[in-house]
Structure 1
Amino acid sequence: MISTAAILEFSSPAQQLFQFIQDDNMEKLEEIIEKYPRAFPLWIGPFQAFFYICDPDYAKTVLNRTDPKSQYVQKFLSPLIGKGLVALDGPKWFQHRRLLTPAFHFNILKAYIEVMTHSVKTMLDKWEKVCSTRDTTVEVYKHINLMSLDIIMKCTFSKETNCQTNSTHDPYEKAIFEVSRIVFQRLYSFLHHSDIIFKLSPQGHRFQKLNQVLYQYTDTIIQDRKKSLQTGVKQDNTQKRKYQDFLDIVLSAKDENGSSFSDTDVHSEVSTFLLAGHDSVAASISWVLYCLAQNPEHQERCREEVRGILGDGSSITWDQLGEMSYTTMCINETFRLIPAVPSISRDLSKPLTFPDGCTLPAGITVVLSIWGLHHNPAVWKNPKVFDPLRFSKENSDQRHPYAYLPFSAGSRNCIGQQFAMIELKVAIALILLHFRVTPDPTRPLTFSNHFILKPKNGMYLHLEKLPEC
């Protein structure tokens, strides 16, 4: 049995990890993993202990149980996204998961491809204007972030925000980035764990103001849609569009007993989908571009594949996305090398025994470090090397099924992973058709770990406009 006292005794070598979290120093984490390739402890303050794991067998053991998600994190996220699918546990989670699953059926996702294509092309038009007279270095993350917001707003609400072209930007985009930063800072500020102290602080006041902006923004759209459904009068964009958006499906969802989502549930699920579907996908697209910029031979091979499938990229179909095998391998290798969600956690509801006989008591928070698992030299050969062939069918078949977990695994795997993959493939394919990307050596990249792993000071890439096919 690994007791709390034993964790305390063992923790001193791994105290460096807290400094890594504060400084976003991923190399420090990798040093610790080389020394402790299965697990290690972490203390935040004198009372809160975490047990980090980065081993496939350990991950399988944890993810195949039904322990609730860690309330240590959810406590700080709940004011922002409510009690949606990410935060729920038990029977209510199961009910929500079942009601939301139709929203991610491939027939629904197929219709989003045209929406995504249009939003990506809007971003590329901006890049072409920037590069009209010469090749140049561009901070691409802010553009990708707005493009991803544009997509998620259309797929969630069928709402045209013009956030990519309006210089004032959308209030949601400005608020969501700042509020997520405040939540993360609160997580690692022990005094701000107290609701009273946090609410009285300048950050707490700012958080409440921003959260009100987000709530009202989302609630107005939901109430307008409900009224239109009740009166039978379709809004203009509802008449024009050819697809069901996420809000349509959430408002019409009913279980076998005829029960539907409450107003609170609708708001929570929509807020969860907006936050998860915007932030994580924007980061992932940026990281794929970064990895391809760093590895030009793989970038060129992806470009040749995309050209052979899409031609000039004037249209994209579901079947064509499925043919992009090498591009998909490069996306998967990026997920391994730089997972957008670097960790997930569970609160043990009962004692846990790992396959090697080590045990943990109930009450411990177990953190699966996805970054640690994906960079573990005991699991991956040359883990720092970008090698898409790790994800060839032959190599994938030989790999431990819990060695690669960008979307988690088990019953609580990411419900939106197919949505994310479609957006990634559409964006990367169209970008490669129009631009060659190379790194800017004068702008070194650093990580900002705000729940989602993002570029800390932007991502600067050199863009070279390619001739038309």
Structure 2
Amino acid sequence: MAANIYINTPTMFAFGLILFSILTLISIFRNYIRRWFLSFQFEGPPAIFILGNVQVAKRWQPEDLVQLLYDISEKYGATFRIWIGTELNIFTSDCKFIESVLNSNGLITKAHEYDYLRPWIHDGLLLSSGKKWHDRRKIITPAFHFKILEEYVRILNIQTNELVLSLQRSLDRDAFENKENVDLVEFIALCALDIICGMYRS
């Protein structure tokens, strides 16, 4: 007589969980290896496998971030890569590179960092993707036609120059003296208001 084989439910569940975990890890590791080899197309600080640029991360203070990125770009060029753990990040100030990304109708899925904005601005044009993004882009595109924007270039130039002069006058008055951090919200808000009013008058 053939022996009966019994597999209890907890054993099957544990086996399924282990198998799922293994397959997930394989998928994650495969994607990571792919990004690792792609990263060699860009210059950047030396990275440690899996750990990324931990030596750079030690210097990452919020107030020093812009200066840090500027220092890295001075050393490695306008486009460079930084590994944050297993996540590959590409930074660029190359206008041609940025233009090719912004003109693409395929590169519209945002990174998970954008999820922090979702409770604030919801699933609008900035955060949406797929059909919703294309539909909303179709609605808003006429408002940003080159001929329309050309009418406002003069106003934008005048008011941004005025913003720079306002900041310079504040510096001359020692308004920023003995301040480690300067709140630019007031300056930017006034500049934005001047631009809006200038467009309305035109």
Please, what TM-score do these two structures have when normalized by structure 2? 0.48
More strand by share: 1
Whose Rg is larger? 2
More helix by share: 2
The structure whose RCO (Cα within 8 Å, separation 6+) is larger is 1
